[in-house]
Amino acid sequence: MLKDISKKIYSPDIQVLAGPVVLLLLFGFLTIVLVKNGYSRITAQLNELKESSQVEESLEGKLSILKKVSTTFDGSSSSVLVALPEENPGVQLISQMKLYAADNVIPLNRIEMKGLSDVSDTLTKIQIISEFEPVDYKSAISLLRSFQSSSPISSLDSLKVETMDGGVLIAEAEISVYWSKLPTELPPLTEAVKEFTSDELVFLSEISGLSQPQFTIMPPSSPSQRENLFN
């Protein structure tokens, strides 16, 4: 019986068909593998093309916004850096204080800096204590109000006014001035630029309107001959 079955399996007709069937199976297997591999590559290329299009669109939008910002807020950037500088602006505030005291004809008896502290991870402040002799309470308040519209940004912590012998007023004000480190990391290049809100535009306008500290610029001097002290 087994011989009969083997004869049927290995009959000439089946042997003739075995070769084409094997070839068809191999061809079908290769076709499936190639189609699957090709489809995955095409899908990957389409995804890369889609991502590239999104990046290009994002960069074009960012470039358009940056062009508008560069022509509109060139002056505002420097004003913001003076209002909230990167380093301790205590000297600038003292300069402003002396200027406002002179404008209000108020003698300054003492100025000192102390109380350096961190307000947050990025914001630091230092306290400046000043003692001055206002003519009356109105002139003292007028002097301190000048800081509301000046750079760098400051806040009044306390004010003490005492009447000394002879009716002389002595005022002591404690003012905090702030600064913050600039960002050290830029956002991803493909991240969209957020446009300024209406409140932020108003804030920038107010910052630009603050009075700036007066800096003295020393012009370069020409070379001169050194005198001989032994002559």
Query: Is residue 33's pLDDT more than 80?
Result: no
Do 58 and 94 lie in one domain? The reply is: no
What is the pLDDT confidence band of residue 3, given thresholds at 50, 70 and 90? very low
In a domain, 157, yes or no: yes
- Domain containing 29 equals 1-72
Does 115 share its domain with 148? yes
- Condensed to tens digits (0 to 9), the pLDDT of residues 199-218 reads 887 888 888 888 877 665 55
DSSP 149: G
- Residue 6 counted as domain residue: yes
Q: Which of 32, 47, 72 is the last residue of a domain?
A: 72
Same domain, 81 and 63: no
Same-domain check for residues 111 and 61: no
Averaged pLDDT, 76-91 = 82
pLDDT of residue 67: 65
* Residue type (1 letter), 207: I
pLDDT of 2:
45
Mean confidence (pLDDT) of the chain: 76
Residue 170 lies in a domain: yes
Total of domains in the chain: 2
Does the residue 191 lie in any domain?
A: no
The pLDDT of residue 125 is 92
Nearest to 115 by CA among 134, 88, 136: 88
Q: What is the dihedral of CA 129, 132, 137, 139, to 10 degrees?
A: -110
Are 164 and 86 members of one domain? Answer: yes
Residues 103-134 pLDDT 10s: 888 888 889 988 888 888 888 999 999 999 98
The answer to whether residues 13 and 83 belong to one domain is no
Nearest to 204 by CA among 191, 195, 213: 195
In a domain, 190, yes or no: no
**In whole angstroms, what is the distance from residue 69 CA to residue 60 CA?**
14
Q: pTM for the complete prediction?
A: 0.59
Instruction: Examine the domain organization and report whether 150 and 57 are in the same domain.
Output: no
3-class DSSP state for residue 130?
strand
Q: Assess whether 82 and 53 both reside in one domain.
A: no
- My answer on whether 28 and 92 are in the same domain is no
Residue 176 Ramachandran class (φ > 0 left, ψ -120 to 50 alpha, else beta) = beta
200 and 99 housed in the same domain: yes
The reply to whether 100 and 117 lie within a common domain is yes
106 shares a domain with 51: no
